[in-house]
Amino acid sequence: MFEIDTALISGWVGSVMLPFFRIGAMLLAAPIFGTQLIPARTRIVIAFLLTMVLAPNLPEMPVIDALSVATMVLIVQQLLIGIAMGFVMQLLLQLFVVGGQIIAMHMALGFASMVDPTNGVTVTVLSQFHLMLVTLLFVSLNGHLAMIEVLTESFYALPVGAGFINDNMLWTLAGRATWMFSSAMLLALPAIASLMIINYSLGIVTRAAPQLNIFALGFPSMLIIGLCIIWLLLGSYVPLFDRFTREALDMMAFLVTP
């Protein structure tokens, strides 16, 4: 007769549940999986299925007491590690949102906003366009598979029970906000420079012909020219996305480097 004892529960917790907490926390904070479009129950099911697939290929897990304080500490560690790794990938998509807001403010499109269904916040239309475009690129270029691969390798680089992310890496993670804003500025810089030249040109025209209404002339001109600039710059988004994705994946792997 099959009996469940303490040793069996401890082995099951160590081999399945501990990886599940790291994987589930990463999916909770990661892009696409962690959005409001996916219900919480669906995320739990995806995390559990992914854990069952990866568990046979993971290194040996520690045998622990399921109800001990040490187990609770390990669970908290795995949750924080997973959230930190997912947060890095979340910054990848958010930098395009920030870049879209910067461009929209310079092309007089900042007033046009809509609700972002993935995060439940209000962003500009251009930021929402960037987010949808980057999400499609992320999925089409197998970014989600690369993210799962780095997550799997993290169990070898930082096994369960071997330690936690050190303070230097936590400070590095906090500094990634600077990387997000600098990358967003790099994304928006060509459009900002072009729109600034258009603004200077409109200012010269207004100075030469004061009878022209700058508001009636400049507002539609900035919108039309801004949309044309965005259309011309779409071709440069793919190499920038590839560069930013590599940097985010490298940072995600660096977090769990001992």
Q: So what's the pLDDT on residue 189?
A: 86
3-class DSSP state for residue 116? strand
Q: Residue written as tokens 């598979």?
A: 145
pLDDT in tens, 33-54: 777 777 778 888 888 888 888 8
Tokens of 26: 């990463």
Cα(91)–Cα(134) distance, integer angstroms: 12
Q: Does position 1 have pLDDT exceeding 50, yes or no?
A: no
pLDDT in tens, 167-219: 666 777 777 778 888 888 888 888 888 888 887 887 787 777 776 666 667 67
Torsions phi, psi for 115 (to 5 deg): -80, 130
Cα(91)–Cα(29) distance, integer angstroms: 10
Contact (CB, 8 A) for 98 and 184: yes
Cα(218)–Cα(46) distance, integer angstroms: 51
